[in-house]
Structures are given as C-alpha cells and as structure tokens.
C-alpha cells in the first residue's frame, strides 16, 4: 500500500485488485486505474475483477461518480483478450463471453456518473468500455486510435456493441465504422462524437475530475432516471437474450475459419512488434 500511495499521491487508495487500483480523489468520486500489463486487454480474470469492483462501488451509496482510466502507457485498453477466444474450449469461451456481457451490463446500466479518461489507444472492447461511460475525454495524441475494428480481425461486433455505438454516434456513422472496422484518430473521433473532448495527455485525468464536478451538481435521482430512460431499451435487449447471445458467440468463435483469422491477427501483432 505504501508504494501505491507514492504512485497516487493525491488520492486515497480504497481498494487494490490484481488488475486495478480504485482510488478516491474527492468526496464521492472514485477512479479506476486499469493495470493489466502490457495493454489492459480484457481477459476473463480482469473482467471478473472489474465486475466485482464495480458492484462494490455501486453498493457504496457515498460513491456517486467513477472515472475509468489506464495505468499502462499509451493504451487505455486493447479490447477483449484475444487469447481468451483463441484455441479455447467452448466452455471457456462461454464463460468468457458471460463476463464480457456482465461488464457491459454493469457499466452501461450504472447508477454512477461514469467518465472515461481515455489516455491511450482504445480499439474494439476498449472502445466499447469507453462508450458505456457517460462522457469520454481522450488524449489529443495522433498516435492513438479508438473504434470498433472487429471486422479487421475477421470477427463481427455483436448487436449490443453495435447498439452502443449507434446510441453514441448515430446509425449511418456506425454502419460505415463497423463494416470497415474503422479506428479513428482522436481528432476524427471528436468530429463524429465518439469522444466528447480532447485535452493534452497530461491533463486527461484532471479534466475528467473537473468535468465530474459539473455532473455531480445535478440531483442524482433526476440524472439516474434520465440515464435509465435513455439506456434501458438497449440493456433490455441483451438481458432478454443473454443465453442466445452466448450460444451465438461460442458457435461463431469456435469455427475453424474464425480461429484461423484470429491466429493470423495474433501473428500480425507479433510481426508488427518485431
């Protein structure tokens, strides 16, 4: 803990999980620092930790706002952990997908004010995670990108990824973005409304906590009911189809052709590194 306090001098560490630190920066606001090296890919274990942490925060009535950010350099989150979908048994894939659903349901349906402090690249599931938040602030660094690039891996974003993006940037933009697997630069993302604000990299977190103050000024009950009114139909679509969605995922992801695409994509990531 001592070491952690040195790393987060302005914050009280309220919980330390294997893959994240929850710190409270001021009354009623928590910050989730994701730290699953090297790229915060959302593995089954990481997703489980995230869900437990979120549940705890949700139950803590003194906690009204949550900022989500990354402790890893250059990356907010690399999206779903491909290794949890590659060469794994159908049972593992089903368990993994349930955890992905759970994360989305918890974040998208959260009563808290949620702000994504996107301080690095955020492809696929990373983009989804940021889109579940109420507001997105991204580092203005042209090296970073954000978007749902699933088709580039030869896979297809499920309907609730699509719905989340439609709710964020509209139907036409989503249609093109999803088919082409577009990853946007921060400036492009701002233009289409995929993020709400760009700031200098070293100001992402402070801007997020400042923005939170504005949102905290709104009475919780009115804001929460409004959020629920906007998001409930999208959430209900998944909750009433969870099992079918898991079965679809497992059937799709375990196909030989899809496994081959994922294998090639992993190879490409390694080659690019070399």
Query: Site residues (CB under 6 A) for ligand CO8?
Result: 38-39, 41, 74-75, 78-83, 121, 123-125, 149-150, 153, 155-158, 249, 252-253, 269-270, 273
Residue (25 or 124) nearer to ligand CO8, CB:
124
b/e string for 188-212 if b means 16 or more Cβ within 10 A?
Answer: bbbebebbbbbbeeebbbebbbebb
Cα dist. 70→33, 66, 181 in Å?
A: 5, 13, 23
- Out of 150, 181, 238, 262, the active site residue is 150
Residue (72 or 209) nearer to ligand CO8, CB:
72
Residue 268 CB, nearest approach to ligand CO8 (Å): 9
Residue (26 or 241) nearer to ligand CO8, CB:
241
Residue 181 CB, nearest approach to ligand CO8 (Å): 9
**Does 201 qualify as catalytic in the annotation?**
no
- Out of 125, 126, 147, 181, the active site residue is 125
- Out of 42, 44, 57, 80, the active site residue is 80
Q: What is the rounded CA–CA span in Å between residue 269 and residue 38?
A: 13
Q: Is-contact 174 198, C-beta < 8 A?
A: no
Residue 195 CB, nearest approach to ligand CO8 (Å): 16
**Does 241 qualify as catalytic in the annotation?**
no
Q: What is the rounded CA–CA span in Å between residue 118 and residue 165?
A: 16
Residue (22 or 253) nearer to ligand CO8, CB:
253
Residue 151 CB, nearest approach to ligand CO8 (Å): 10
Q: What is the rounded CA–CA span in Å between residue 64 and residue 55?
A: 13
- Out of 54, 57, 66, 149, the active site residue is 149
With a CB cutoff of 8 Å and minimum separation 6, the contacts of 117 are 67, 68, 69, 137, 204, 205, 207, 208
Residue 225 CB, nearest approach to ligand CO8 (Å): 31
Cα dist. 8→1, 22, 128, 203 in Å?
A: 10, 10, 27, 15
Residue (11 or 96) nearer to ligand CO8, CB:
96
Cα dist. 209→49, 148, 196 in Å?
A: 23, 26, 15
Residue 189 CB, nearest approach to ligand CO8 (Å): 14
Residue (140 or 150) nearer to ligand CO8, CB:
150
Q: What is the rounded CA–CA span in Å between residue 22 and residue 24?
A: 7
With a CB cutoff of 8 Å and minimum separation 6, the contacts of 71 are 21, 33, 34, 35
Residue nearest to ligand CO8 (CB): 79
**Does 150 qualify as catalytic in the annotation?**
yes
**Does 126 qualify as catalytic in the annotation?**
no
Active-site residue list? 80, 125, 149-150
């Amino acid at each position: 803990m001592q070491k952690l306090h040195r790393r987060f001098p302005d914050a009280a560490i309220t919980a330390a999980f294997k893959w994240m630190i929850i710190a409270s920066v001021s009354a009623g606001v928590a910050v989730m620092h994701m730290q699953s090296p090297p790229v915060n890919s959302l593995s089954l274990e990481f997703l489980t930790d995230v869900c437990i942490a979120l549940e705890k925060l949700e139950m803590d009535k003194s906690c009204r706002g949550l900022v989500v950010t990354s402790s890893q350099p250059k990356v907010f989150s690399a999206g779903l952990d491909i290794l949890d979908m590659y060469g794994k048994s159908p049972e593992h894939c089903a368990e993994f997908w349930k955890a992905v659903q759970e994360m989305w349901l918890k974040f998208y349906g959260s009563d808290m004010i949620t702000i994504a402090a996107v301080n690095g690249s955020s492809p696929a599931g990373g983009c989804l995670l940021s889109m579940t938040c109420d507001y997105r602030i991204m580092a203005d660094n042209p090296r970073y990108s954000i978007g749902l690039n699933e088709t580039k891996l030869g896979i297809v974003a499920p309907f609730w990824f699509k719905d989340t993006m439609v709710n964020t940037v509209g139907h036409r933009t989503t249609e093109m973005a999803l088919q082409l697997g577009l990853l946007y630069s921060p400036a492009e993302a701002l233009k289409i409304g995929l993020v709400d604000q760009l700031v200098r990299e070293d100001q992402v977190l402070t801007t997020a906590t400042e923005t939170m103050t504005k949102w905290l000024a709104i009475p919780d009950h009115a804001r929460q009911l409004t959020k629920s009114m906007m998001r409930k139909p999208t959430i209900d679509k998944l909750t009433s189809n969870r099992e079918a969605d898991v079965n679809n995922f497992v059937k799709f992801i375990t196909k030989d052709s899809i496994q081959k695409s994922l294998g090639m994509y992993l190879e490409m990531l390694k080659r690019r590194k070399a």
